[in-house]
């Protein structure tokens, strides 16, 4: 799940080959889960075109898209509505790319005409220019309060909303509207907003906002090129569903149906993953106020202190795991030693237990839907963001799975990264499991 959006990619649509296509990459906020890992573990697990693969934390759809390219049916489950929407659209290769491009040009012309009647020309913003006496549009106050301050300039927001009106209302075409909305999300965040990513989302007040309409059309061109390159396997099923991987699997899966699981759940750290997609989630209406944001956070594995709630009880599922309890005790001891007293810091020990308890709940919930002999790959990383106490995520997840009846096949190192807090090398691993049935 987590990371930063890709920067815009300038391409010649006529030079894209199927093997080069990155339909799932032009809108991604998960940089820690590259497509080659999906291919690698599909091969390692011996999955084929009669198999069904599940990604219970599918983000924007890396696993379903790679499986579809390989001719393998898949199901993706994602709790974040913006990510679920993105994955569903990215996995839909059935639309006509020529229709998409031609309709998008009509939309852009209409939006430019509408702006022109207000005396607004869609050109780069330097942070100073405004539209004279024009009353600029904005979002409802409760929606604006959800955004990072200064994440998008007033004139850029006005122009973006003008484009969105034409996409969704004036020239709406249901055959292509979802693809146009997703291109809008990517262009707004990557080209028009003041946001920057890596490793956390932040605001860059010096960032030059590019014109809205050309930026959007560029994303449409990229999408159309990918669709042309990927037509071969467009009939392969790739279902994307919204749900909580800890408790909603039974609503979307048949018993003993899954042959393989390839996924990258969130890691235990202080990254609020809802902030990564906040701007586009608000603009497209997936989150409108704090109550909807709170509801979204309730459906996520508790991986950071900003989505911990008083009644959470996943920690009870790992109350007898000595290693998790020891790590939580170390974090709390370090907090007291350093005199850290903020509300978030007081939750570090608890969120560690809630995170692993949530993963235990997920693995337990998953068992009835796995075929005997099913193979599973969980891409996770060690963490030290809680007061520099090392959390060996892969090893602990393997221990939890073993306690629930899974067989631990291997823990494969696929890369190391330098920790932001400790500057030490942290392992990123693939925990490989087998369900004996």
- State yes or no: pLDDT of 222 exceeds 80: yes
Whether 10 has a pLDDT exceeding 60, the answer reads no
Residue 80 included in any domain: no
Residue 132 has pLDDT above 90, yes or no: no
Q: In which domain, by residue range, is 355 found?
A: 32-75+235-275+286-435
Whether 165 and 45 map to the same domain: the answer is: no
pLDDT-based confidence at residue 197 (cuts at 50, 70, 90): confident
State mean pLDDT over 155-164. 96
Which one-letter DSSP state was computed for residue 425?
Answer: E
**259 DSSP 8-state letter:** E
Q: Looking at the domain assignment, is residue 213 inside a domain?
A: yes
* Whole-angstrom Cα Rg for the chain: 22
Q: How much is the pLDDT for 18?
A: 36
Q: State the pLDDT at residue 125.
A: 61
249 within 8 A of 370, measured Cβ to Cβ: no
**How deeply is 118 buried, as exposed, middle or buried, from its count of CB atoms within 10 A (0-12, 13-18, 19+)?**
middle
Both 216 and 335 in one domain: the answer is no
- 9: in domain: no
Is 193 in a helix, a strand, or coil?
coil
Query: CB of 66 within 8 A of CB of 40?
Result: no
Q: Answer with the one of 196, 213, 229 that is the final residue of a domain.
A: 229
| 120 within domain boundaries | yes
CA 294 distance to own-chain centroid: 17
| Domain match, 221 and 249 both | no
Higher pLDDT, 139 or 12: 139
Mark whether 141 and 270 lie in a shared domain: no
Report the percentage of the chain scoring pLDDT > 70: 89
The model's pTM is 0.90
Q: Are residues 263 and 352 in the same domain?
A: yes
Q: What is the pLDDT of residues 297-313, one digit of tens each?
A: 999 999 999 999 999 99
Q: Which of 103, 114, 223, 218 is nearest to 167 (CA)?
A: 103
Q: What is the model's pLDDT at position 269?
A: 87
Give 89: exposed, middle or buried? Use CB within 10 Å, 0-12, 13-18, 19+.
buried
Domain count, the chain: 2
Q: How confident is the model at residue 420 (pLDDT cuts 50, 70, 90)?
A: low
Residues 322 and 252 both lie in one domain: yes
Both 430 and 342 in one domain: the answer is yes
Do 60 and 134 reside in the same domain of the chain?
Answer: no
Q: Which residues contact 223 (CB under 8 A, 6 or more apart)?
A: 23, 26, 97, 100, 179, 182, 183
Which residues are CB-neighbours of 378 under 8 A, at least 6 positions away? 261, 263, 264, 265, 394, 397, 430, 431, 433
The verdict on residue 156 lying in a domain is yes
Assess if residue 20 is contained within a domain: no
- Picking from 210, 229, 248, the residue at the C-terminal end of a domain is 229
Say whether both 254 and 156 belong to one domain.
Answer: no
- Identify whether 15 is part of a domain: no
Is the pLDDT at 252 greater than 60? The verdict is: yes
Torsion of CA 158, 162, 168, 173, to 10 degrees: -150
Please indicate, yes or no, if residue 87 is contained in any of the structural domains.
no
* Domain match, 257 and 218 both: no
pLDDT attached to residue 395 = 97
Over residues 103-122, mean pLDDT = 95
Closest CA to 256 of 7, 54, 109, 99: 54
């Amino acid at each position: 799940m987590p990371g930063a959006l890709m920067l815009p990619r300038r391409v010649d649509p006529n030079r894209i080959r199927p093997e080069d296509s990155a339909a799932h990459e032009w809108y991604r906020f998960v940089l820690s889960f590259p497509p080659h890992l999906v291919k690698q573990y599909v091969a390692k697990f011996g999955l084929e075109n009669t198999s069904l693969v599940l990604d219970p934390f599918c983000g924007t759809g890396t696993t379903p898209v790679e499986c579809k390219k390989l001719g393998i049916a898949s199901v993706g489950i994602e709790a974040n509505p913006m990510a679920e929407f993105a994955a569903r659209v990215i996995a839909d290769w059935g639309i006509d790319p020529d229709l998409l491009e031609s309709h998008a040009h009509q939309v852009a012309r209409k939006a430019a005409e509408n702006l022109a009647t207000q005396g607004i020309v869609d050109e780069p913003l330097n942070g100073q220019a405004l539209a004279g006496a024009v009353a600029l549009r904005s979002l409802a106050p409760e929606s604006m309060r959800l955004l990072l301050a200064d994440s998008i300039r007033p004139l850029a927001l006005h122009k973006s909303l003008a484009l969105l009106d034409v996409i969704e209302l004036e020239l709406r075409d249901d055959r292509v509207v979802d693809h146009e909305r997703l291109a809008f999300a990517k262009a707004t965040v990557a080209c028009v907003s003041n946001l920057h990513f890596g490793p956390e989302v932040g605001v860059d007040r010096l960032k030059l906002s590019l014109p809205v309409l050309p930026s959007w059309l560029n994303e449409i061109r990229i999408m159309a090129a990918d669709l042309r390159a990927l037509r071969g396997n467009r009939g392969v099923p790739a279902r994307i569903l919204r749900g909580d991987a800890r408790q909603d699997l039974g609503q979307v899966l048949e018993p003993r149906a899954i042959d393989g699981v390839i996924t990258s759940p969130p890691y235990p750290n202080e990254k609020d993953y809802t902030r990564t997609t906040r701007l586009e989630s608000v603009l497209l209406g997936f989150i409108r106020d704090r109550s909807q944001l709170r509801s979204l956070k309730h459906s996520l594995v508790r991986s950071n202190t900003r989505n911990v709630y008083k009644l959470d009880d996943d920690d009870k599922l790992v109350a007898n795991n000595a290693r998790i309890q020891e790590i939580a005790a170390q974090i709390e001891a370090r907090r007291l030693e350093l005199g850290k007293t903020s509300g978030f810091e007081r939750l570090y020990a608890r969120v560690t237990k809630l995170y692993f308890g949530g993963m235990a709940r997920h693995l337990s919930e998953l068992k009835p839907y796995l075929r005997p002999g099913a193979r599973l790959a969980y891409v996770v990383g060690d963490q030290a963001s809680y007061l520099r106490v090392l959390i060996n995520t892969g090893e602990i997840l393997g221990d939890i799975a073993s306690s629930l009846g899974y067989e631990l096949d291997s823990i494969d190192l696929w890369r190391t990264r330098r920790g932001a807090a400790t500057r030490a090398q942290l392992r990123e691993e693939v925990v490989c499991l087998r369900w004996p049935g």
